[in-house]
């Protein structure tokens, strides 16, 4: 992992310099949350915490950084000295990677000296916004594929190396089963998988020779690309010829890949031909600019597809290429006195939720069926025995007050241990799937999903109203 301490916006350093001098003993708590879900979905899959941990663990400034700061000439010697001896003293709380999170609820909080916590804003958002975006897109594709494996094929179309590497990691957390990206596969212990490119077939005198050469080299990994010339008149018949030869030699043919044309018609015909030739177990893999809309349509058309290879639309989240997660000041602390903070702004939607907080997932009592999330003040008890008055956390909502009873509550924000060993992405994917299974199925629908309620406790709602009123009077 590179040192990413300078991957930040200049103003973070300018503020940190000012905080260092003007608020020298003040602590701050910042919340990471987002307001809108990509593709009009109902939740985001939180991803990227491991890379945040690695970044903050290694947060320091070396001689060349300090020389550069001197050259910039923006900050004084005392602050540069502080940076030279920088020791991060922040604590993080976060939801587990793979957790489905809803608008406005903190998925990560940072508490520590205000100049330090401020400095972390940009890099934390960079990491979490990217990986959570791709994990969420991957979850949509996985949902559309309805149990058929997704192979991640996007390295060539990702926006640069980091997007390919960490995008693949996120895609697996979101549900992808394998990747063609060898570096990501090695780094994150993801199954590496793939077929062949058209160049292999073009390079030989004819398609049959190309397939035979491949089968000779990889007799137990013979997924043949059948659309270089003519899928039904040449590709599939040649593949069947080679599959028969492989079978005679005691090998199990893997299948075919189709990368163009009307996929439903081609897959249906190819399936019949393979079955008639005695290869019902040969798999059909489809690729070519697939997204969740096309996948849903193909399945609805009855296309007999076993695997989906998905590149550009997944690795770039092409339909919604940005997740606008934010990092907002929630509280300051001076001499043990915690002061909640609010941002009002001209847009009602941007009203923040003040104070140090915890997020709870609420379940119907004695079950694993979640029905709402609850944002509470960090130190207020959330009793699950009595009825609880709660308020909609959406500043644009009209139905404000609700009463809850008969529920269990699970805290989502957990302390982050900086020197913990990384959890495998396969485990994160399983955790994510388990957590998704607790949510109402209608929240996962690709079009017009049900809105899942995110409430605030009465105390938090009151605090927000008070601060809003004070801020308005002050202004
Ligand atoms: N039966 C189908 N129903 C819905 N979408 C399909 C179907 N068959 C293919 N598609 C999708 O339609 C889009 C266009 O397919 P088409 O084969 O025309 O692509 P292309 O870009 O012309 O092919 P090529 O990759 O050879 O240039 C692709 O995203 C493909 O996945
Ligand atoms: O379409 P994606 O979802 O990104 O999937 C990956 C694509 O990458 C390869 O295409 P290639 O680079 O060989 O170009 P071409 O097939 O478009 O000619 C492969 O054949 C897929 O079509
Ligand atoms: O292995 C494959 O089939 C593959 C890999 C990357 C892009 N397209 C296809």
Q: How far is the CA of 152 from the centre of ligand 2 (A)?
A: 12
Question: If you take atom 6 of ligand 3, which residue's CA is the nearest one?
Answer: 153
The residue behind tokens 């690695």 is: 54
Mean pLDDT in residue range 318-331: 98
Residue length, the chain? Answer: 475
Percent of the chain residues past pLDDT 70, beyond the cut: 99
The rounded distance, in Å, linking the Cα atoms of 373 and 293 is: 29
Average pLDDT of the segment spanning 214-243: 97
Q: How far is the CA of 153 from the centre of ligand 2 (A)?
A: 8
Q: Going by CA atoms, what residue is nearest to atom 30 of ligand 1?
A: 288
User: Starting at the edge strand that comes first in sequence, how are the strands of the sheet with 337-340 ordered?
Assistant: 337-340, 326-334, 27-33, 108-113, 91-94, 414-415
The first and second tokens of residue 462, run together, are 């009151």
Q: 431: Cβ below 6 Å to ligand 1?
A: no
Structure tokens at 25: 């003993």
> Strand, coil or helix: what is 162?
helix
User: Mean pLDDT across the stretch 130-151?
Assistant: 98
Q: State which of 141, 266, 289 you would mutate to test the pocket of ligand 1, scoring each by most atoms of that ligand within 8 A of its C-beta.
A: 289
- Ligand number, closest to the Cα atom of 254: 3
- Is ligand 2 within 6 A of the CB of residue 310? yes
Is pLDDT at 473 greater than 80 in this prediction? no
Question: What are the structural domains of the chain?
Answer: 10-134+321-474 (3.20.140.10)
Kindly report the number of other CB atoms within 10 A of residue 404's CB atom.
Answer: 18
Q: Is the pLDDT of residue 347 over 90?
A: no
pLDDT band for 1, please (50, 70, 90 cuts): low
Q: Is the CB of 442 under 6 A from ligand 2?
A: no
Mean predicted confidence (pLDDT) in 176-191: 98
- Per-residue pLDDT reduced to its tens digit, 365-396: 999 999 999 999 999 999 877 799 999 999 88
Instruction: At 52, give phi and psi (nearest 5°).
Output: -65, -45
Closest C-alpha to 211, from 195, 189, 192: 195
Is residue 108 pLDDT above 90, yes or no? yes
Closest ligand 3 atom number to CA of residue 193 = 1
> In what helix (H) or strand (E) does residue 459 lie, and over which residues does it extend?
helix 458-474
Supply the pLDDT for residue 475: 64
φ, ψ for residue 16, nearest 5 deg: -60, -40
User: Ligand 1 centroid vs 293 CA: distance in angstroms?
Assistant: 12
Q: Are 47 and 134 in contact (CB under 8 A)?
A: yes
At which residue do the structure tokens 């300018």 appear? 14
311 in contact with ligand 2, CB cutoff 6 A: yes
- Whole-number pLDDT of residue 383: 80
Please identify, by atom number, the ligand 3 atom nearest to the C-alpha of residue 311.
7
Least Cα distance to 98 among 147, 141, 125, 134 occurs for 134
Neighbours of 171 (CB within 10 A): 34
259: CA distance to ligand 2 center in Å?
7
Bridge partners of 407?
364
On average, the pLDDT of the chain sits at 96
Q: For residues 291 and 310, what is the distance between their CA atoms, to the nearest angstrom?
A: 8
Q: Are strands 255-258 and 283-286 parallel, antiparallel or unpaired?
A: parallel
Give the mean model confidence (pLDDT) for residues 106-116: 98
pLDDT of residue 447: 96
Q: Residues near 59 by Cβ (< 8 Å), separated by ≥ 6?
A: 3, 5, 86, 88, 120
Distances (CA, A) of 274 to 37, 181, 242, 270: 42, 29, 12, 6
């Amino acid at each position: 992992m590179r040192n990413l301490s300078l991957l930040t916006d200049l103003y973070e350093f300018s503020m940190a310099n000012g905080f260092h001098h003007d608020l020298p003993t003040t602590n701050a708590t910042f919340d990471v949350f987002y307001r809108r879900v990509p593709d009009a979905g109902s939740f985001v899959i939180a991803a990227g915490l491991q890379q945040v941990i690695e970044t903050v663990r290694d947060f320091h400034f070396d001689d060349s950084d300090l020389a550069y700061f001197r050259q910039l000439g923006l900050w004084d010697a005392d602050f540069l000295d502080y940076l030279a001896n920088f020791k991060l003293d922040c604590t993080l709380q976060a939801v587990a990677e793979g957790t489905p999170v809803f608008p406005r609820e903190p998925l990560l909080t940072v508490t520590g000296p205000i100049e330090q916590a401020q400095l972390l804003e940009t890099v934390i958002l960079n990491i979490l916004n990217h990986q959570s975006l791709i994990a969420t897109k991957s979850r949509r594709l996985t949902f559309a594929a309805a149990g058929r494996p997704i192979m991640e094929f996007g390295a060539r179309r990702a926006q640069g190396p980091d997007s390919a590497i960490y995008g693949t990691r996120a895609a697996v957390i979101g549900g992808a089963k394998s990747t063609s990206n060898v570096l990501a596969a090695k780094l994150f212990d993801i199954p590496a998988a793939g077929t062949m490119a058209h160049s292999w077939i073009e390079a030989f005198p004819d398609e049959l020779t190309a397939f035979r050469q491949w089968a000779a080299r990889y007799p137990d990994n013979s997924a043949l690309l059948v659309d270089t010339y003519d899928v039904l008149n040449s590709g599939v018949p040649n593949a069947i010829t080679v599959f028969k030869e492989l079978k005679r030699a005691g090998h199990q043919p893997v299948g075919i890949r189709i990368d163009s044309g009307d996929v439903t018609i081609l897959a249906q015909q190819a399936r019949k031909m393979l079955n008639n030739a005695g290869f019902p177990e040969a798999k059909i893999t489809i690729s070519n600019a697939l997204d969740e809309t096309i996948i849903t349509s193909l399945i609805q058309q009855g296309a007999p597809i076993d695997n989906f290879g998905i590149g550009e639309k997944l690795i770039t989240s092409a339909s919604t290429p940005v997740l606008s997660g934010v990092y907002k000041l929630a509280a300051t602390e001076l001499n043990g006195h915690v002061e909640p903070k609010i941002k009002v702004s001209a847009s009602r939607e941007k009203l923040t939720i003040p104070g140090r907080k915890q997020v709870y997932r609420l379940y119907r009592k004695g079950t694993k069926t979640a029905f709402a999330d609850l944002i509470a003040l960090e130190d207020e008890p959330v009793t699950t025995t009595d009825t609880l008055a709660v308020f909609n956390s959406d500043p644009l909502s009209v139905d404000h007050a609700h009463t809850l009873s008969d529920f269990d509550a699970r805290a989502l924000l957990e302390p982050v241990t900086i020197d913990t060993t990384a959890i495998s992405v396969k485990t994160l994917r399983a955790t994510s799937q388990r957590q998704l299974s607790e949510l109402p199925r209608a929240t996962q629908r690709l079009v017009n999903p049900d809105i899942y309620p995110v409430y605030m406790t009465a105390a938090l709602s009151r605090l927000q109203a008070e601060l809003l009123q004070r801020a308005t009077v002050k202004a």
